Amino acid sequence: MATVKIPPVLRPSVGGEKQVEADGASVGEVLRSLAAAHPQTQSQLFSADGELNRYVNVYLNDEDVRVLDGLETRVGEGDTLVILPAMAGGR
């Protein structure tokens, strides 16, 4: 069971929760179980072809999974997935 931290913009889709638990051995599996439990998140997290939506960043603990193995990135017991919207930084 992994913990998934939900950003404010997605909370209305998960009943207002700040974090939820979801099963899965990879990032893709965990996010698909989240979407199965909270169907409104499906179209926000995934594009039509099942890839991670462009403006969604997912971190395994604190590392962006896009520069790890994407949705195939392994998730262990006790790991946390953090979902964050892609925002401009910079100055």
CA torsion, ordered 67, 72, 82, 77, to nearest 10 deg: -130
x/- letters, 19..58, toward other proteins (CB under 8 A)? -------------------------x--------xxxx--
| Residue number with CB closer to other proteins (23 or 32) | 32
Please identify which residue in 23, 29, 66, 80 interacts with other proteins, judged by CB under 8 A: 66
Q: Are 22 and 34 in contact (CB under 8 A)?
A: yes
**Residue 15 binding other proteins, by CB under 8 A:** no
Pick from 4, 32, 28: nearest CA to 18 = 4
